[in-house]
Amino acid sequence: DTEVTQTPKHLVMGMTNKKSLKCEQHMGHRAMYWYKQKAKKPPELMFVYSYEKLSINESVPSRFSPECPNSSLLNLHLHALQPEDSALYLCASSQPILDTEAFFGQGTRLTVV
């Protein structure tokens, strides 16, 4: 099973809403990532978890709050987002060692209204 599953696939939320994106993998990977991708741009790294601990935060605004409840799950909690936060949010996982590729989920397409 080389699958990373993200839910929901699509999400529309208001600027005052609170929502969560979910990501799950069962490949035994101990590194998990959140990326944000705008149209016609490459994915931009947001957060990295390594062995369930937050190891990298790329200066992401606090309205995005990641959580890693266990080695298979990764959440991204959203609160008070802005319309410019509308994007494709991609989750990925890999082994936290060199020369191993990352596998990506299909993403959550988020629209903030």
Partner 1 sequence: RKEVEQDPGPFNVPEGATVAFNCTYSNSASQSFFWYRQDCRKEPKLLMSVYSSGNEDGRFTAQLNRASQYISLLIRDSKLSDSATYLCVVKGFQKLVFGTGTRLLVSP
84 vs 63: CA distance, rounded Å: 13
Q: To which H or E segment does residue 112 belong?
A: strand 108-112
> Is the separation of the CB atoms in 32 and 68 below 8 Å?
yes
Member of 21, 33, 76, 87 binding partner 1 (CB under 8 A): 33
Instruction: Select the span of 14-22, 62-70, 78-86, 105-113 touching partner 1 (CB under 8 A).
Output: 105-113
Task: List the interface residues with partner 1, window 41-70 (CB under 8 A).
Answer: 41-45, 48, 50, 55-56
Q: Output the CA–CA distances (angstroms, integers) from residue 2 to 28, 80, 102, in the order listed.
A: 10, 34, 10
Q: Output the CA–CA distances (angstroms, integers) from residue 35 to 16, 56, in the order listed.
A: 23, 12
> Is the separation of the CB atoms in 84 and 102 below 8 Å?
no
Residues touching partner 1: how many (CB under 8 A)?
A: 26
92 binds partner 1 (CB under 8 A): yes
1 binds partner 1 (CB under 8 A): no
CB of 18 to partner 1, least distance (A): 25
Comparison of 45 and 73: residue with beta carbon closer to partner 1 = 45
Residues interacting with partner 1, by CB under 8 A?
A: 31, 33, 41-45, 48, 50, 55-56, 88, 90, 92, 94, 96, 98-107
